[in-house]
Amino acid sequence: MSQNPQMDVLYMQGLGHVLGIFTRTSEPAQIETDASVFVGDGLHLRGSPPFPQPPASGHDLVVPPSMIGVFRAVRNWRQIFQPFNLYVSQPPSTPALSSFAAAGPTLGFTSPNLTITLTPATAGSALNILVLALDVNGGNPVPFSAQTTPGQTSVNIAMTGLVSGDNYNAFVFIPTLPVAVQQFTAP
């Protein structure tokens, strides 16, 4: 039996966080460019750290295919089973997998703001931040975005426009930093 020495990586476009890795014994000559081939209407992430175990069946963080990129890499068994420790650098021209070198941001919530705190070492350059707020009762995630300036170590994002009183998980994506999660009650 011949094994294809490749693996296919699904990652957050523009941010680099790896969301999943799979293998195919028979790879096509050209890898698919549309992630919906692999995730349908969205990639369902449930209960795998750092994504919290769902309190109820059917509670998934669904990442839409438009936010997901695909690329092919040399197969590495350790990486296949540790996707959330990895990020994709320099996508999509010459993508490469790297392990997160720094700890994720520290999160806090003081209504209505989600406070994201970075270490000085990780705040050296301007960073794009994406927050996906997911109601624990289900539904589609609500995106919030922000950008830091070089050296800025703290950012407040107003979590408004959500279902007031509902509990949410805020998934925070910052390039080259692990995903961080904060639960809060919507104002």
For binding to other proteins (CB under 8 A), which residues are involved?
Answer: 4, 10, 20-29, 37-40, 43-49, 53, 60, 77, 80-81, 83
> 37 or 163: whose CB is closer to other proteins?
37
CB of 163 to other proteins, least distance (A): 24
Distance of CA 144 to the CA centre of its chain: 13
Cβ 30 to other proteins, closest distance in Å?
9
Task: Name the residue nearer to other proteins (CB basis): 88 or 162.
Answer: 88
In whole angstroms, the minimum distance from the beta carbon of 44 to other proteins comes to 4
Alpha-carbon 110 to chain mean position: 23
Supply the minimum distance, in Å, between the C-beta of residue 90 and other proteins.
24
Choice between 5 and 151, CB closer to other proteins: 5
DSSP state of 138: -
Residue at token pair 């957050």: 12
CB of 6 to other proteins, least distance (A): 10
Cβ atoms of 168 and 162 within 8 Å: the answer is: yes
Q: Pick the closer one to other proteins by CB: 78 or 164.
A: 78
Alpha-carbon distance of 137 to 141, in angstroms, equals 11
Q: Which is nearer to other proteins, 47 or 108 (CB)?
A: 47
Q: How far is the CB of 22 from other proteins (least distance, A)?
A: 4
For residue 82, the cross-strand partners are: none
**Cα(53)–Cα(6) distance, rounded to whole angstroms?**
30
Cβ-based nearer residue to other proteins, 48 or 147: 48
Select from 155, 167, 75, 73 the least CA-distant residue to 107. Answer: 155
117 vs 125: CA distance, rounded Å: 14
User: What CA–CA distance (Å, rounded) separates 164 from 122?
Assistant: 33
